[in-house]
Amino acid sequence: MRMTETKLKGAFVIDVDRREDNRGFFGRMFCQNEFAMHGLNSRIAQANVGSNIRQGTVRGMHFQYPPAAETKYVRCTRGAILDIIVDLRPESPTYLEHVAVELSADNQRGLYIPERFAHGYQTLEDRTDTVYIVGEFYSPDMEGGLLYDDPRLGLTWPLPVTTISEKDARWALLDDIEPTLRRRMSIAQANVEHPSDSRAEPSPAIS
């Protein structure tokens, strides 16, 4: 794998080193040892799949608060997406900055997202599927989100939004929740012990 850190510390673009022959190619997309070498969390609590019917669909911007903050490793297995992440770590020099990465079935690229980041994407093609490897269980009481078109975030989506869930269209503006966001995303909260598996919701979030 080729792991390239983005301008947001701890967030990595992960490319597959392809070994090609007359059959096609073979490559590694995940390795606990390589993740550990780069200081990444390799814990897998859940693996989720998202299937999207229409081009222009937006899912996001999602996160979980500590102590259930989650890492995500996102890949696109059919079609293509523009994946956007936002740094929500109050102590970070890149707080509220974002990175956008195109992930597709063709480029086989993945994006590793640290804890305390918001995440979302827009589909660039009809019939687009994504896979998430998640480092923490879904905890409905720890779930949060930001509006995909919040002017404070300045996110640029390449296509008109054709489909979005009612919940994603109703997230509060950052101006309204930032004091709470900063408090709940603080290092002190992040260092609190994670909730036990017995408290976790067994089903995945509706992302």
pLDDT (tens digit per residue) in 178-193: 999 999 999 877 776 5
Q: What is the mean pLDDT of residues 125-141?
A: 97
Could you tell me the pLDDT band of residue 204, with boundaries at 50, 70 and 90? low
pLDDT at 103 over 90: yes
* Rounded Cα–Cα distance for residues 137 and 155 (Å): 27
> What is the pTM (predicted TM-score) of this model?
0.91
CA neighbours closer than 13 Å in the CB half-sphere of residue 191: 3
71: containing domain: 2-19+26-190
Inside any domain, residue 196: no
pLDDT of residue 29: 82
pLDDT at 197 over 60: no
Inside any domain, residue 203: no
Inside any domain, residue 133: yes
Q: By percentage, how much of the chain surpasses pLDDT 90? A: 81
Inside any domain, residue 69: yes
Whichever domain contains 146, its CATH number is: 2.60.120.10
Containing 184, the helix (H) or strand (E) segment is helix 174-184
Inside any domain, residue 57: yes
Per the CB < 8 A criterion, the answer to whether 161 and 35 are in contact is no
* Mean per-residue pLDDT over the chain, rounded: 92
pLDDT digits (tens, 9 = 90+) for 22-78: 888 888 888 889 999 999 999 999 999 999 999 999 999 999 999 999 999 999 999
Could you tell me the pLDDT band of residue 200, with boundaries at 50, 70 and 90? very low
Which residues contact residue 111 at a Cβ distance below 8 angstroms, ignoring those fewer than 6 apart? 11, 12, 13, 14, 72, 73, 74, 75, 83, 85, 101, 103
Number of compact structural domains in the chain: 1
pLDDT at 15 over 80: yes
Catalytic residues: 62, 132
Inside any domain, residue 108: yes
pLDDT of residue 203: 53
Query: Residue 50 pairs with which residues in a beta bridge?
Result: 130
* Rounded Cα–Cα distance for residues 15 and 34 (Å): 13
Inside any domain, residue 200: no
* Rounded Cα–Cα distance for residues 72 and 97 (Å): 18
pLDDT of residue 49: 97
Q: Which two tokens stand for residue 45?
A: 């609590």
Which residues contact residue 16 at a Cβ distance below 8 angstroms, ignoring those fewer than 6 apart? 1, 2, 25, 27, 28, 29, 108, 109
pLDDT at 198 over 60: no
Inside any domain, residue 111: yes
